[in-house]
């Protein structure tokens, strides 16, 4: 591998440097020197792309996740309270049915949380 032994110094106005630095930060170049070398040698520069159409979807999903957490918490508190009444046969049956519903809800909530986390990870990388 050939080492880089030649040095070029370029002076920029602060606004020019800020513009170049901003463009570099939107690329996959690890350093400003690498970015400028790619440009000057007319090599391709890979630019990070972020799909902004997902912004609104992610905001809505975050709100839905919070609402789902609140519903799950309220249902869980109600079922705990009903456990104290489990000595009465009708409540025991009702409690078992709703415990199954609660478990199904919590399982779905976990699946939604995982999907949102996965999507937000991709969304933040773009």
**Using CA atoms in the order 102, 107, 109, 115, what is the torsion angle rounded to 10 degrees?**
-170
Mean of pLDDT over the chain? 81
The confidence score (pLDDT) of residue 124 equals: 64
d(CA 117, CA 110): 10
The confidence score (pLDDT) of residue 126 equals: 52
d(CA 16, CA 41): 20
* Average pLDDT of the segment spanning 53-61: 77
d(CA 54, CA 123): 7
Q: Is 121 exposed, middle or buried (0-12, 13-18, 19+ CB in 10 A)?
A: exposed
Is 23's pLDDT higher than 80? Answer: yes
Is 53's pLDDT higher than 60? Answer: yes
DSSP state of 44: -
What would the pLDDT profile of 68-114 be if each residue is shown by its tens digit? 888 878 877 877 777 776 667 777 777 778 788 888 888 888 888 88
Q: Where are the domains of the chain?
A: 10-48, 54-125
């Amino acid at each position: 591998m050939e080492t880089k032994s030649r040095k070029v110094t370029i002076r920029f106005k602060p606004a020019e440097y800020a513009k170049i630095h901003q463009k570099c930060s939107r690329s996959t170049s690890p350093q400003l020197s690498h970015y400028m070398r790619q440009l000057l040698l007319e090599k391709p520069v890979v630019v990070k792309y972020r799909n902004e159409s997902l912004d609104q979807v992610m905001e809505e999903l975050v709100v839905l996740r919070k609402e789902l957490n609140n519903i799950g918490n309220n249902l869980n508190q109600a079922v705990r309270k009903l456990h104290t009444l489990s000595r009465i046969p009708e409540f025991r049956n009702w409690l078992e049915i709703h415990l199954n519903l609660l478990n199904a809800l919590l399982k779905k909530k976990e699946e939604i949380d995982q999907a949102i986390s996965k999507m937000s990870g991709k969304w933040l990388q773009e």
